[in-house]
Amino acid sequence: MIKKIFKILVILIIFVMNTGVVQADDSIETSKINWIEGPKTVDVGNNLAKLDLSSEYIFADGKDAKSIMKTIGNSVSGMEQGIVFSKDTNEEWFVLFEFNNMGYVKDEDSNKIDSDKLLSQIKEATEEDNKQRRKDGNNTLDIIGWDEKPHYDPNTHNLTWSVLCSSEGEKIVNYNVRILGRDGVTEVTLVANKNEIESVKPNLDSIISNYSYKEGKRYTDYIKGDKVSKIGGLAALIAGGSAASKAGIFAKIFIVFKKIWILIVVGISGVFRKIKNIFKKKDDEFNL
């Protein structure tokens, strides 16, 4: 029942975006997005990892995640592995999973991360990205500072940081977690409004704690002779490595995401109730 509701919801959301806010890629068969409803264990990537999806969330795989990113006007990296949304239509955030098969990233510099230097690099990379945004007629981003300074957990091999930025007066937090693996890094990005980030962090923590590489893919499965990343350690992961100069650190942020979502919440919340009532009536008729 819920799965049917969300399939219809995504069509309605896309319709609102296409007609009132952004132009979607016409080649995307958005109506065929296969939402997976929790609670359920889902595969992430090609024999890469698994995610124990709890009952509060819905998940779409890498192919569908790419379609969703294109539909909402976001950048597509080609590394998409999955995307998680809350079932609660009043919650305005999403978590994107990507995997970069750059190889094993050494964490020897975990105690030498210079957050001030990194912030300067992020600002520089974002300004480069802003030049292209201006050419394309898109809104630019201004980096305000760290929302959460970089820190690394040697037990989970998770690297976490978040940067506070703004666009057209709207404050946005791009919250990042990098989960180190044997063959590369899972890039987890939470996009949320600054006002809701603190309340959403526990959701992200819960989602990440239920994400795990499959046997043979874990960071601790590394053996001598495996491919080692050339980016230079954890600091380079934060600075964006070669991707920073090419696309900017915040390529994944959809600048008008919040504005669109406000439109969706206002327009869809009432529709959602109507949809549930329609299905309820159908169920009642079926049971007569």
For position 257, which CATH number holds? 3.40.1000.10
User: Which residue is associated with the tokens 């890498």?
Assistant: 62
Closest CA to 252 of 94, 19, 102, 61: 94
Q: In angstroms, rounded to a whole number, what is the distance separating the alpha carbons of residues 65 and 88?
A: 19
Give the dihedral sign, CA 232/233/236/241. Answer: positive
Give me the average pLDDT of each 10-residue run along the chain (288 residues).
Answer: 45 41 40 82 95 93 86 75 85 88 93 91 84 80 90 95 83 87 94 80 94 97 95 84 38 38 37 36 42
**Cα 288 to Cα 283, 284, 285, distances in angstroms:** 9, 6, 5
pLDDT for the residue numbered 130 = 83
pLDDT for the residue numbered 248 = 41
**Hey, what amino acid is at 257?**
F
pLDDT for the residue numbered 72 = 63
Q: In angstroms, rounded to a whole number, what is the distance separating the alpha carbons of residues 191 and 202?
A: 14
Grouping H, G, I as helix, E, B as strand and the rest as coil, residue 274 is: helix
Counted domains in the chain: 1
CB within 8 Å of 235: residues ≥ 6 apart: 109, 112, 113, 114, 118
Q: Which helix (H) or strand (E) holds 272?
A: helix 257-287
Range of the domain at 57: 2-287
- And the tokens for 52? 């124990």
Q: Model-level pTM?
A: 0.73
- Specify whether the CB–CB gap between 192 and 93 falls below 8 A: yes
Compute CA 267 distance to the chain's CA centroid, rounded to the nearest angstrom.
24
- Specify whether the CB–CB gap between 227 and 216 falls below 8 A: no
- Region for 184 from its dihedrals, namely left if φ exceeds 0, alpha if ψ lies in -120 to 50, beta otherwise: left
**Hey, what amino acid is at 177?**
V
pLDDT for the residue numbered 197 = 82
Is the bond into 154 cis (omega within 30 degrees of 0)? no
